[in-house]
Amino acid sequence: MNYNDKINNDLPKMNPSQGLPSTPQLAIGSQPNEPAVMEELVQREPMTAVDFKRIIRDMGLKVTQQRLAILKALSQGRAHVTAQEVYEMVHEEYSEIGFATVYRFLRKLTETGYVTEVRMGGLPARYELTPRKHHDHITCLDCGKIVEFENMEIERLQKEVAHSHGFTLSSHVLELYGKCQTCNNR
């Protein structure tokens, strides 16, 4: 057994029924009366236990099984999950962990840039591991479908606008809202 195998075996085991498979298009909506929502992802970068431990240590925190479980939950299944969904995935394995603990760690991850909080209209905030490659989001206001996209022309225009106002752009969040084709055809 090599070092990476040992580290991966040390990670908490997540019940496969807790999360949905990671595919380019995934149904979301965990509440019985919520409609299923779809995600279209640009590309998801794989993360290992070594990555998780580095993140926690870089934040100046102690590596714990609960923190590892939260990061693992964020890296599996859907890309955009609510704090409640993360809590439910982690709580199955660690019944002693509370929602407040999950939420505080998500906030700390967001503040340090390892997680991005995505606000989708009036829906609860969703969290995603901050990808190495930038992307933006468009959300259907009717069904909640989330589509990630990359557009170099938009990126260029944003830098141009910042420059024309005397700014050096360091980051941005672009969230577009509208109706998807399925909802438009109804």
For residues 90 and 70, is the Cβ–Cβ distance under 8 A? Answer: yes
- Run of H or E residues at 95: none
The per-residue pLDDT of the chain, averaged, comes to 74
Q: Give dist(CA 183, CA 180) in Å, integer.
A: 5
pLDDT tens readout for residues 86-95: 999 999 989 9
Assigned domain for 2 exists: no
Same-domain check for residues 65 and 144 = no
pLDDT band at 121 (very low <50, low <70, confident <90, very high): low
Assigned domain for 154 exists: yes
Residue 113 belongs to domain with CATH number: 1.10.10.10
Same-domain check for residues 122 and 67 = yes
CB atoms near residue 105 (< 10 Å): 23
pLDDT band at 105 (very low <50, low <70, confident <90, very high): very high
pTM, to two decimals: 0.57
Answer left, alpha or beta for residue 66, where phi above 0 means left and psi between -120 and 50 means alpha: alpha
**Whether pLDDT at 149 is above 60:** yes
